[in-house]
Structure 1
């Protein structure tokens, strides 16, 4: 960009204090050029001067003559050559920048954890059929013979023969299946007894941990309190067979009538 005529006049705006800006809007690193974000045009500008610090003389658009459009004028920024007061030390500025970066890192969203979809139960036609037994095979064979027209007392269709063969095989394997089922049920009962024993052991360990505190609380509860008032005694319950509600109502009416007579003006004049 070609050089431009710069003025030595200072900006009429009040001095800009760095303590009023965010730490991310200026740079005070000793090994770099001190810069500040112009509060008017929002562009980064150098901080010029040795004794009196000022913002570099710049324009609002900061464009060259070739880049300006037709009828567009490049105006001087109001904060050009504005006095800058560096009222923040480098250590303070570095600490503010570190604290700001820590807060920004804490505000960043954490990793999104996808919700595990709830498993859907399988449909009825997708469920695996139960293992056949000798009884279920026999019922299936009898139902087939009752519906099949080819199966009679002396003849049997191929499907009927297959079902009868399944019945024979399952009857042969029935003792093994019953024994395996009994072993599985026995193992399940053993596992339940082990879990019950572990639960009782855990409860005993918990009670052993709080037993002394419970005993101390019971002893303190039985000790009499110093300076305490004795138990509150309520109205004695009548031992006769009178209707306590009717008696209370009659007594209340008598007290009301006595109060009316005491406040009656006729009685006062007579007295």
Structure 2
């Protein structure tokens, strides 16, 4: 008769553990555990099981502290068959005070946070990007027939219409507008290439001729500048010798005594005052003030002409 070996399975875990069984394994000392491996919060006492490394509740804290019966895998893990851990109902000796555990946990948390802040971060090099030139700094390069030919060949290798594979619903081959435009451009540049080459050669010859003429005229320009340079230096010295705000003493005076005939006819005699409106004159300023003359827009007016303007526009001498 053949015998079959049945793999033992754990029983359903109870919500509340009430048992007098105690494991024969040696008791676990809390003082030998780190502060991060145990939780002594009142009502939520847990410890990391030394066998299965799972967080396991502690029962009987006020009497005989024990590890509650538990499985070797988390209860929500349904991929494996649950097995009972060998440290179930194992005694725990709480030889660490609650305040000491809290202080140790706070110190370890602070130290780990400080270490994490001191840990250097990886410095990523900033990618070097080239500066894009402005539109005014771009130098356009003229198209050549060879460049357009290469682009046209690349287009023919990738375009289904140029290879005859693109068809419409009726089965007719569709034309390629881009390929046709490139072919027309290539033929036009190929036809204009001799003329373009002649123009380039002409400009190259003119540039060389201009360079020769400019180089030949260099001694003449140098001689002219050498002749003018002393006069320029003398003018700079005279300008620096003039005081700030004064006019040059050697400059010509304004011919104030020489007037044109019209200005001489309109100019009154010395000591006379002429009305700016009617042309009447007075022999002196005292006579003009006595006759009621006034200034209107900074010009003298007789009393009769001044009465035609409002009072706010008249100003006495």
Report the TM-score when normalising by structure 2: 0.34
The structure with the larger Rg is 2
Greater RCO between the two (CA within 8 Å, min separation 6)? 1
- The structure that is helix-richer by fraction is 1
- TM-score normalised per structure 1: 0.38
